Amino acid sequence: MTVLSRELEIQATAETVWQQLIDVNGWKNWQNQISESIWMDDSEAGIGARFVLRYSHNRDSPRIEAEVSGFRAHKEFSYKPADGDQPYTEGMTDLEWEWLLFPQTRNRTRVRFTLTYDAAGGSPFFRELIGTRVQFLNFADTALAALRAMYEDEHEGETTAPLA
For the chain, domain boundaries: 2-153
pTM of the model: 0.84
For the cut 50, the answer to whether the pLDDT of residue 155 exceeds it is no
For the cut 60, the answer to whether the pLDDT of residue 157 exceeds it is no
Instruction: Say how far apart CA 144 and CA 34 lie, in whole Å.
Output: 13
Q: Which CATH number fits domain 2-153: 3.30.530.20, 3.90.1150.10, 3.40.50.300, 3.40.50.720?
A: 3.30.530.20
- What's the whole-number mean pLDDT along residues 48-58? 83
Work out the angle at residue 47's Cα, subtended by the Cα atoms of residues 46 and 49, and round it to the nearest 5 degrees. Answer: 70
Q: What is the largest CA-CA distance in the chain?
A: 48
For the cut 60, the answer to whether the pLDDT of residue 28 exceeds it is yes
Work out the angle at residue 136's Cα, subtended by the Cα atoms of residues 131 and 138, and round it to the nearest 5 degrees. Answer: 100
Contact present, 99 and 84 (Cβ < 8 Å)? no
pLDDT of residue 30: 92
Residue type, 69: S
Contacts of 101 (CB under 8 A, 6+ apart): 14, 17, 18, 21, 74, 75, 76, 109, 110, 111
